[in-house]
A and B are shown apart, each in its own frame.
Chain A
Amino acid sequence: MKNFKKTRHFECPLSSFFESKSFERKRSNPINKSLLLIIGIISLTLFSCEKDIDIDLPDSERKLVVEGSIEPGLPPFIMLTKTEGYFNPVDINSLQNAFIHNAIIFVNNGTNNVQLTEICTSDLDTSLLPSVAQLIGVSLENVKNFGFCLYTTLDPLMFGEVGKTYSLSIQAEGKILTSTTTIPSPVVMDSYWYEDQPGYTDYGYLWFKLNDPQPLGTAYRIYTQRLGKDDRLLPANGSVFDDKFFNGISFEAFIFRGHEINSQHPQDIGGLRDYFEQGDTIIIKFCTIDQPHFQFLNTFEIASFNNGNPFTAPISIKSNIEGGLGIWGGYGVSYDTLIAVD
Chain B
Amino acid sequence: MYDKIYDVKNSLLFLFFSLFILSVSAQQKYTVSGYVKDKTNGESSLGATVYIKEILKGTTTNSSGFYSITIEEGEYTLAISYIGFKTIEQKIILNKNIRLNYEIEPDVITTDELTVIGERKDGNVDETVMSTVELDIKKIKSLPAFFGEIDVLKTIQLLPGVQAAGEGNAGFYVRGGGLDQNLILLDGATVYNASHLAGFVSVFNSDAIKDVKLIKGGMPAEYGGRLSSVLDITMNDGNMKKYEAEGGIGIMSSRLTLQGPIKKDTASFIISYRRFYLGDILQPFISDSSNLKGTNYYFYDLNAKLNWIISEKDRLYLSGYMGEDVMTYVNNKDGFATNIPSGNAIVSLRWNHLFNDKLFSNTTLSYTRYKFELGLEQGQIEFKLFSGIYDWNAKMDFNYLPSILHSVKFGLDYTFHKFVPSNVSIKSDEVYFNTGDIIKNYANDAAFYLSDDWDINERLRVHVGLRYSLFQHVGPFKRYKNNQFGSPVDTVVYDNFETVKLYQGLEPRLTARYTLNNTSSVKASYTQNYQYLHLVNFASVSLPMDVWAPSTDEVKPQFARQYAAGYFKNFKDNKFETSVEVYYKTMDNQVEYKDGAVPQDNAGNNVDHQFTYGKGWSYGAEFFVKKRFGKVNGWIGYTLSWTNKQFEELNDGNVFPAKYDRRHDASVVLTYNPSKRWVIGAVWVYATGSALTLPEQRYTIQGQIVSDYGNRNSFRMDAYHRMDLSLTLKGKEEKKFKSDWVLSIYNVYNRMNPSFIYFATEGSVYDGTLEIQAKQVSFFGILPSISWNFKF
Measuring CB to CB, which residues of chain A are less than 8 angstroms from any residue of chain B?
Answer: 3, 5-6, 10-15, 17, 21, 24, 26-28, 30-31, 34-35, 37-39, 41-43, 45-55, 57-58, 60, 62-63, 65, 67, 81-87, 90-92, 95, 98, 136-139, 142, 145-146, 198-199, 216-217, 235, 242-245, 247, 261-262, 271, 291, 295, 299-300, 302-304, 307-318, 325-327
Q: Does B483 contact A (CB under 8 A)?
A: yes
Q: Does B715 contact A (CB under 8 A)?
A: yes
Residue in A closest to B334 when the chains form the complex, CB atoms: A11
Q: Does B768 contact A (CB under 8 A)?
A: yes
Cross-chain contact B697 with A24 (CB below 8 angstroms) = no
Q: Which of B417-447 contact A (CB under 8 A)?
A: 422, 426, 429-430, 433, 435-436
B452 to chain A, nearest CB (A): 46
Cross-chain contact B545 with A3 (CB below 8 angstroms) = no
CA distance A65 to B770 in the complex (A): 19
Residue in B closest to A91 when the chains form the complex, CB atoms: B768
Cross-chain contact A216 with B593 (CB below 8 angstroms) = no
Contact string against A for B residues 272-301, beta-carbon threshold 8 Å, 1 for contact and 0 otherwise: 000000110010000000000001010000
Cross-chain contact B485 with A242 (CB below 8 angstroms) = yes
Cross-chain contact B543 with A262 (CB below 8 angstroms) = no
Max count, chain B CB within 10 A of own CB: residue among A291, A309, A313? A313
Cross-chain contact A90 with B770 (CB below 8 angstroms) = yes
Cross-chain contact B697 with A308 (CB below 8 angstroms) = no
Q: Which residues of A contact B775 (CB under 8 A)?
A: 3, 5, 50-53
Q: Name which of B258-266, B405-413, B470-478, B688-696 contacts chain A.
A: B688-696
Contacts A52-B773, A86-B695; A60 near B755 (Cβ below 8 A): no
Cross-chain contact A310 with B756 (CB below 8 angstroms) = yes
Cross-chain contact A217 with B776 (CB below 8 angstroms) = no
Q: Does B331 contact A (CB under 8 A)?
A: yes
Contacts A38-B198, A49-B778, A86-B698; A13 near B376 (Cβ below 8 A): yes
Q: Which of B699-736 contact A (CB under 8 A)?
A: 699-710, 715
Cross-chain contact A27 with B601 (CB below 8 angstroms) = yes
CB pairs A–B below 8 angstroms (6 shown): A11-B334, A31-B545, A42-B200, A45-B279, A53-B774, A310-B777
A292 to chain B, nearest CB (A): 9
8 Å CB contact of B540 from A6, A58, A136, A313: A313
Top 9 nearest A-B pairs by Cβ distance? A137-B702, A83-B697, A138-B703, A14-B378, A90-B770, A311-B539, A310-B758, A142-B766, A244-B487
A80 to chain B, nearest CB (A): 11
Q: Which residues of B contact A304 (CB under 8 A)?
A: 704, 706
Q: Does B133 contact A (CB under 8 A)?
A: no
Q: Does B502 contact A (CB under 8 A)?
A: no
Q: Which residues of A contact B374 (CB under 8 A)?
A: 30-31, 34
Max count, chain B CB within 10 A of own CB: residue among A35, A95, A235? A35
Extra contacts, 14 of them, besides A14-B383, A41-B297, A142-B764 (Cβ < 8 A), are A31-B385, A37-B329, A42-B197, A43-B779, A47-B780, A52-B773, A60-B696, A60-B710, A86-B697, A87-B774, A146-B767, A198-B379, A198-B380, A303-B706
Residue in B closest to A316 when the chains form the complex, CB atoms: B595
Q: Does B760 contact A (CB under 8 A)?
A: yes
CA distance A92 to B772 in the complex (A): 16
CA distance A302 to B701 in the complex (A): 13
Cross-chain contact A84 with B774 (CB below 8 angstroms) = no
Cross-chain contact B543 with A35 (CB below 8 angstroms) = yes
CA distance A65 to B704 in the complex (A): 13
Q: Which of B585-603 contact A (CB under 8 A)?
A: 593, 595-601, 603
Residue in A closest to B757 when the chains form the complex, CB atoms: A310
Residue in B closest to A295 when the chains form the complex, CB atoms: B485
Q: Which residues of A contact B176 (CB under 8 A)?
A: none
Cross-chain contact A45 with B781 (CB below 8 angstroms) = no
CA distance A54 to B774 in the complex (A): 7
Q: Does B336 contact A (CB under 8 A)?
A: yes
Q: Which residues of A contact B777 (CB under 8 A)?
A: 3, 43, 48-50, 310
Q: Does B381 contact A (CB under 8 A)?
A: yes
Q: Which residues of A contact B655 (CB under 8 A)?
A: none
Q: Which residues of B contact A3 (CB under 8 A)?
A: 775, 777
Cross-chain contact B539 with A35 (CB below 8 angstroms) = yes
Measuring CB to CB, which residues of chain B are less than 8 angstroms from any residue of chain A?
Answer: 168, 197-198, 200, 278-279, 282, 295, 297, 327, 329, 331, 334, 336, 338, 340, 374, 376-381, 383, 385, 422, 426, 429-430, 433, 435-436, 483, 485-489, 538-541, 543, 545, 593, 595-601, 603-605, 693-710, 715, 752, 755-761, 763-781, 783
Cross-chain contact A146 with B760 (CB below 8 angstroms) = no
CA distance A83 to B707 in the complex (A): 9
Contacts A45-B278, A271-B334, A314-B709; A309 near B758 (Cβ below 8 A): yes
Residue in B closest to A311 when the chains form the complex, CB atoms: B539
Cross-chain contact A28 with B598 (CB below 8 angstroms) = yes
Cross-chain contact A137 with B697 (CB below 8 angstroms) = no
Cross-chain contact B487 with A261 (CB below 8 angstroms) = no
Q: Which residues of B contact A51 (CB under 8 A)?
A: 752, 775-776, 778
CA distance A63 to B705 in the complex (A): 15
Q: Which residues of A contact B694 (CB under 8 A)?
A: 55, 57, 86
8 Å CB contact of B699 from A26, A48, A65: A65
Residue in B closest to A32 when the chains form the complex, CB atoms: B539
Contacts A28-B598, A34-B374, A142-B764; A84 near B698 (Cβ below 8 A): yes
Residue in A closest to B297 when the chains form the complex, CB atoms: A41
Q: Which residues of B contact A45 (CB under 8 A)?
A: 278-279, 282, 297
CA distance A310 to B541 in the complex (A): 10
CA distance A98 to B777 in the complex (A): 32
Cross-chain contact B702 with A136 (CB below 8 angstroms) = yes
Q: Which residues of B contact A145 (CB under 8 A)?
A: 766-767
8 Å CB contact of B766 from A12, A138, A303, A325: A138
Cross-chain contact A48 with B693 (CB below 8 angstroms) = no
Contacts A14-B381, A244-B604, A311-B541; A261 near B697 (Cβ below 8 A): no
B776 to chain A, nearest CB (A): 4
CA distance A58 to B709 in the complex (A): 12
Q: Which residues of B contact A27 (CB under 8 A)?
A: 598-601
Cross-chain contact B487 with A242 (CB below 8 angstroms) = yes
Residue in B closest to A219 when the chains form the complex, CB atoms: B485
Q: Which residues of A contact B706 (CB under 8 A)?
A: 300, 303-304, 307, 317
CA distance A235 to B597 in the complex (A): 23
Cross-chain contact A313 with B593 (CB below 8 angstroms) = yes
Cross-chain contact A313 with B702 (CB below 8 angstroms) = no
8 Å CB contact of B429 from A55, A92, A95, A198: A198
Residue in A closest to B595 when the chains form the complex, CB atoms: A316
Cross-chain contact A308 with B376 (CB below 8 angstroms) = no
CA distance A52 to B278 in the complex (A): 30
Cross-chain contact A12 with B336 (CB below 8 angstroms) = yes
CA distance A67 to B701 in the complex (A): 7
B152 to chain A, nearest CB (A): 21
Max count, chain A CB within 10 A of own CB: residue among B381, B488, B760, B777? B777
A194 to chain B, nearest CB (A): 15
CA distance A307 to B760 in the complex (A): 9
Max count, chain B CB within 10 A of own CB: residue among A302, A308, A326? A308
Residue in B closest to A2 when the chains form the complex, CB atoms: B775
CA distance A245 to B286 in the complex (A): 44
Contacts A41-B297, A307-B761; A50 near B776 (Cβ below 8 A): yes
B712 to chain A, nearest CB (A): 8
CA distance A48 to B753 in the complex (A): 11
CA distance A81 to B703 in the complex (A): 12
Cross-chain contact A48 with B707 (CB below 8 angstroms) = no
Cross-chain contact B779 with A46 (CB below 8 angstroms) = yes
CA distance A340 to B165 in the complex (A): 53
Cross-chain contact A17 with B768 (CB below 8 angstroms) = no
CA distance A13 to B385 in the complex (A): 13
Contacts A55-B774, A137-B702; A11 near B600 (Cβ below 8 A): no
Q: Which residues of A contact B599 (CB under 8 A)?
A: 27-28, 31
Residue in A closest to B538 when the chains form the complex, CB atoms: A313
